[in-house]
Amino acid sequence: MTEMMKRIVQARRPNGFPVAEDFRLEEVPLPQPAEGEILVQVTHLSLDPYMRGRMDDVASYTAPQELDQTMGGGAVGRVLESRSDRFAPGDLVFGMFGWASHGVLPAKACRKLDPDLPPSTALGVLGMPGFTAWSGLEAYGKLKAGETLAVAAATGPVGSMVGQLARLKGLRAVGIAGGAQKQALLTERFGFDAAIDHRAHGDARAMRTALAEACPDGIDVYFENVGGAVTGGALPLMNLHGRIIVCGMIAWYSGETDETGAMPLQKIWRMALVKRLTIQGLLQTDHVARFGDFLREVTPLVKSGQIAYLEDVAEGLENTPAAFFSMLRGGNTGKQVVKL
Ligand code: NAP
């Protein structure tokens, strides 16, 4: 009898915010590894905001997700069968296996995991999101002790790493996140100097007032994760020679037209000139040659507890779309993974 595996494919392009009908759970024959490949049973898969962008058929920094194919994404799992001398059955690996129970990839496209750490850390704090934070600050942050950094989605894997790295370098770190529970996490678990609830400050003016109070010396580094009202509140507080690292803008990923954060382009341009701002787009893949440096520097900090992390674990492949929608709306508390 043919052995089968489960996977979730994108069934159609979403119309605005994605819904369950945009996906389909199906069974397909278990693939067999060719020479140089490994067959892996996935234990945890990663849910990331960029996946929403790939669901649309628009040109971006990655190709759109193909319809009727396994939803792409990072995952970790155990090697079932290896046709490469890089891996043995039982090894824990990271690879782009997507939303699936199993996958086959070339061994050279996979990374062996540190057996002393929970495998799911390779999807968040010690994976792509943690690396995004680290590489963005390394390349563009020009962090100086005594300065102030602000970041939103600050309990997530990117934002929490940004804040903690800034604190380790002696900056004042101000975190923005939604809801009372996340405020407590920001200061108590991640060590932010101040926390702001963006849900309690629904437009740019209110956000600006809250940020001004939390950043009495202005903002030197604004790490942009969200867009919307948070951005509208933060930009006017930028200091001379401030750095804006544009990493993501999740408030606008489903074509939202809520312009509570919008500032006229003339104002933004004038501010960039008067304050001599640096506005720098960040794409972590540009820095991938430094991934080893990141792991060498940050792994010991995670093991010693100097860098804290938090994961939100949904269970079951069939619950992946619901966990994905929840993450896009801020329902996740920490890095969203799905345990299979
Ligand atoms: P995450 O924080 O785990 O999840 C996204 C968070 O965004 C939600 O939990 C929610 O948190 C917040 N959010 C959603 N809508 C919002 C809104 N309208 N206003 C304010 N906050 C909102 O995600 P992540 O993986 O760490 O990613 C954070 C950002 O980095 C995303 O924009 C992502 O696309 C970007 N990113 C970029 C790169 C790159 O190479 N450029 C790589 C990785 C990630 P709250 O409950 O706090 O609202």
Q: Where in the chain is the domain with CATH 3.40.50.720?
A: 128-284
Whether pTM exceeds 0.95: yes
Q: Whose CA is nearest to atom 29 of ligand 1?
A: 225
Q: Is 178 in the pocket of ligand 1 (CB under 6 A)?
A: yes
Residue 325 has a pLDDT of 97
Which CATH fold topology does 128-284 show?
Rossmann fold (3.40.50)
- Burial classification of residue 113, based on how many CB atoms lie within 10 Å of its CB (0-12 exposed, 13-18 middle, 19 or more buried): buried
**pLDDT: is 23 or 253 the higher one?**
23
Average pLDDT, integer, range 299-325: 98
Cα(93) to centroid(ligand 1), Å: 25
Is residue 245 lining ligand 1, measured as CB closer than 6 Å? Answer: no
Protein residue with least CA distance to atom 33, ligand 1:
248
pLDDT, tens digit, for every residue of 178-187?
999 999 999 9
Ligand 1 pocket mutation pick from 46, 61, 158, 190 by most atoms within 8 angstroms of CB: 158
The residue whose CB lies within 8 Å of the most ligand 1 atoms, and thus the one to mutate among 164, 226, 249, 256, is: 226
Q: What is the DSSP string of 202-228?
A: -SHHHHHHHHHHH-TT-EEEEEES--H
Query: What confidence tens digit (pLDDT) does each residue in 223-232 have?
Result: 999 999 999 9
Which CATH class, in words, describes the domain spanning 4-124+309-339? alpha beta
pLDDT (average), residues 6-22 = 97
Residues of the chain with CATH 3.90.180.10: 4-124+309-339
Query: CA 15 to CA 13: how far, in whole Å?
Result: 7
Residue 48 Cβ contacting ligand 1 at under 6 Å: yes
Distance of CA 267 to the CA centre of its chain: 30
> What pLDDT does 141 receive?
98
Q: Which protein residue's CA is at the shortest distance from atom 13 of ligand 1? A: 330
- Averaged pLDDT for residues 220-246: 96
